[in-house]
Amino acid sequence: MQVLPSFFNPSNDMALAANVRQYLPPRRIQQMEADLVDLATMWENTRFAGPWGWSLATKQRYRQMGLAEGLLPSDEWLAQLRGLSSREFACRYIKDLLAEIADERLLGSEMRWMDRLCVEPGTRIFKSPWSSSGRGVFVSSSCDDHTESRLRGFLSSQGGFVVDRFYADKVLDFAMEFFVDDDHTVDFLGWSVFHAAEHGAYGYNYVESQEELLRRIDVDASLLQRLVDYHKVHLSQTSYRGPVGIDMLKTTDGRIHPCLEINFRLNMGILALLLHERYGAGCTKQLTPLNPNGFEALVERGKLMVVYRKR
């Protein structure tokens, strides 16, 4: 029986933005995908087997490998996935979530989708509909020409942008990880805790037990469970099947933003869960070949990271 080969394609969010079958990512991302090709061995032969993320370009890549058409998703399903993967969907999703779970400890009411140029005073974070690892994300505290120019670029290239309050008082990045089965069952895989730079660029994930990760999160367990239950119901109602990660943050006053964005694909949090199952907490493991002039992935004393080295 033919199965889908697994591969690491972190350019997939950019391919979703382009929405073409023949997509060529920026040269540095091409290098990352080539240098980290062995990373896919971490999820092959698991329920996550297949690509890091789906798009028209991913489907075309499998076609070029000679995979049978019946193993590949339809263009209609991919169009629905593209809509779900847009940050515009996350804006609608969090609005409904906050209406159903009315709790003063939840942030996110200022997160909105904009399809016209409108810049409010104060420090804000702006995000294009589709981007990855900090690309298409910037913070601005003024309505200057540079800010307006970037937002006009989002409007002309992707039809809009997301604006939210910039959480300078953030103390923790964390996420909920799920898997949506073919029968609409949604499994909660666990929590992940990670570090991201101010503009969203990925830093590292902790490879630890769920007990230790929850200790780091340190949020009321009943509130967290309400959020898990909400996502299990509402993710089951989408057309999507596969892994999902919902990014969150915590501020100094203990409040949480329950849905910064929704990643309908594999992500480093799920990879950290798989690595914990395989190697245990606090492990050190080289995941891809040592590379003195390029990218490598490794776990160093319990931190999963992608490192770029340059001679």
Q: pTM of the entire structure?
A: 0.94
Same domain? For 79 and 189 the reply is no
Q: Check: CB of residue 49 under 8 Å from CB of residue 266.
A: no
Structural domain count, the chain: 2
What size, in residues, is the chain?
Answer: 311
pLDDT value of residue 171: 97
Same domain? For 182 and 294 the reply is yes
pLDDT value of residue 134: 63
Same domain? For 69 and 191 the reply is no
Same domain? For 299 and 190 the reply is yes
Residues 6+ apart with CB under 8 A from 11: 23, 25, 26, 29, 30, 33, 132
pLDDT value of residue 213: 98
pLDDT value of residue 119: 65
CA distance 5 to 310: 30
Residue 153 in domain: no
Q: Which residues pair with 120 in a beta bridge?
A: none
Handedness of CA 110, 116, 119, 124 (dihedral sign): positive
**36's tokens:** 């980290």
Answer left, alpha or beta for residue 141, where phi above 0 means left and psi between -120 and 50 means alpha: alpha
Query: What sections of the chain are H helices per DSSP?
Result: 12-18, 27-35, 56-65, 75-85, 87-100, 145-158, 210-217, 221-235, 268-279
CA distance 50 to 40: 9
Same domain? For 77 and 179 the reply is no
| CATH code assigned at 182 | 3.30.470.20
Same domain? For 177 and 298 the reply is yes
Residue 25 in domain: yes
Cα within 13 Å of Cα(255), Cβ side:
11
pLDDT value of residue 303: 98
Indicate the residue among 49, 83, 117 that finishes a domain. 83
Residue 152 in domain: no
Same domain? For 49 and 175 the reply is no
Structure letter (DSSP) for residue 114 = E
Residues 6+ apart with CB under 8 A from 278: 42
Residue 289 in domain: yes
Name the nearest CA neighbour of 8 among 268, 202, 191.
268
CA distance 38 to 296: 10
Phi, psi of 138 (to 5 degrees): -150, 160
Residue 4 in domain: no
What DSSP string describes 59-71? HHHHHHHT--GGG
Residue 245 in domain: yes
First to last CA, the chain: 45
Boundaries of domain holding 24: 12-83
In angstroms, how far apart are the furthest CA atoms of the chain? 58
- Residue 96: CB atoms within 10 A of its CB come to 12
* 233-284 pLDDT per residue, tens: 999 999 999 999 999 999 999 999 999 999 999 999 999 999 999 999 999 9
Residue 137 in domain: no
pLDDT value of residue 145: 76
Residue 192 in domain: yes
CA angle 58-90-149, nearest 5°? Answer: 85
Indicate the residue among 65, 83, 101 that finishes a domain. 83
Same domain? For 79 and 173 the reply is no
pLDDT value of residue 1: 47
Phi, psi of 271 (to 5 degrees): -60, -40
pLDDT under 50: residue ranges of the chain = 1
Same domain? For 304 and 173 the reply is yes
Indicate the residue among 37, 58, 83 that finishes a domain. 83
